[in-house]
C-alpha cells in the first residue's frame, strides 16, 4: 500500500499532555498559525487556520476553534460561519499553492475515530491528481471496487512542504493582508 512518509510523526504522542489541550495553548497556536506575508495571523473571532506540526499528508492544515469545543453540534451559529469562512480560504489558498483544484476536508471525533486531541478541528488538505492516495486511501482505508483487480501499491510518498516550509509557501500565495 502507498503511504505518506512523515518523519514528523515520530515525535508525536497520542497520550494526553500534562500541559492541557494543545489547541487551547495560544502561544503554540500562534506559532502554527498561517499568516499573510506581512505576518498578520489568519483568524477570525472564533477560529484560526494552522499548519499541522505533525502532518500525515502533503499540505496538511487545520481550522481550529479558539474556544474548547469537543462535540459536534456544540458550535454557535457564529462559530459555524467563522469556520466555513476559514475552510473556504484554506481551500482556495491550498489550491493556488499546490496548483491544483481539490482539497479534502474532514473531521475525526469521538472515541472510535482516529482523533487524538479532544478539541474539534477540521483538517483541510491539498488533493492533487498526481497523488496516489486519494479520498479514503489518504485516510488509511484501502479498498478496491473490482474484486478481481486488487489495488495494491507499496511505496512512500514523501511530504515536500511541512511545518515552516508550508507556512512560508502559504504566506507567499496569500501575499499581504487585503491584497
Least confident of 34-38, 41-45, 93-97, 173-177: 173-177
Whether residue 49 has pLDDT greater than 60: yes
Whether residue 74 has pLDDT greater than 60: yes
**pLDDT score recorded for residue 42:** 97
Phi, psi of 88 (to 5 degrees): -65, -45
Pairing between β-strand 60-65 and β-strand 122-126 as defined by DSSP bridges: antiparallel
**pLDDT score recorded for residue 12:** 52
**pLDDT score recorded for residue 143:** 47
Domain ranges of the chain: 23-140+162-174
**pLDDT score recorded for residue 123:** 93
**pLDDT score recorded for residue 4:** 55
User: Taking each helix axis from N to C terminus, what angle separates 77-97 and 164-174, rounded to the nearest 10 degrees?
Assistant: 90
DSSP 56-99: SSTTEEEEEESS---STT-S-HHHHHHHHHHHHHHHHHHHHHTT
CB of 2 within 8 A of CB of 153?
yes
Q: Is the pTM of this model over 0.85?
A: no
Structure confidence by residue, pLDDT tens digits, 96-153: 999 998 898 989 877 766 677 889 999 999 887 776 665 555 555 544 555 666 555 5
**What CATH number has the domain spanning 23-140+162-174?**
3.30.428.10
For the chain, the first-to-last Cα distance in angstroms comes to 42
Least confident of 28-32, 39-43, 119-123, 134-138: 134-138
* Nearest Cα to Cα of residue 53 among 84, 22, 83: 22
Dist. CA 150–CA 160, nearest whole Å: 28
CB of 71 within 8 A of CB of 109?
yes
Amino acid at each position: 500500500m502507498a503511504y505518506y512518509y512523515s518523519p514528523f510523526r515520530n515525535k508525536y504522542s497520542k497520550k494526553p499532555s500534562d500541559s492541557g489541550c494543545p489547541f487551547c495553548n495560544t502561544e503554540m497556536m500562534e506559532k502554527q498559525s498561517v499568516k499573510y506575508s506581512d505576518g498578520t495571523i489568519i483568524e477570525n473571532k472564533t477560529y484560526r487556520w494552522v499548519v499541522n506540526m505533525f502532518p500525515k499528508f502533503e499540505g496538511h492544515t487545520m481550522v481550529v476553534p479558539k474556544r474548547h469545543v469537543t462535540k459536534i453540534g456544540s458550535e454557535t451559529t457564529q462559530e459555524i460561519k467563522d469556520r466555513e469562512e476559514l475552510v473556504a480560504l484554506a481551500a482556495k489558498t491550498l489550491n493556488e499553492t499546490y496548483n491544483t483544484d481539490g482539497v479534502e476536508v474532514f473531521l475525526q471525533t469521538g472515541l472510535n475515530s482516529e482523533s487524538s486531541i479532544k478539541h474539534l478541528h477540521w483538517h483541510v488538505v491539498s488533493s492533487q491528481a498526481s497523488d496516489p492516495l486519494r479520498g479514503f486511501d489518504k485516510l488509511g482505508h484501502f479498498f478496491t471496487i473490482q474484486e478481481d483487480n486488487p489495488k495494491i501499491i507499496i511505496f512512500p510518498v514523501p511530504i515536500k512542504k511541512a511545518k515552516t516550509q508550508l507556512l512560508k509557501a502559504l504566506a507567499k500565495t496569500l501575499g499581504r493582508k487585503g491584497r
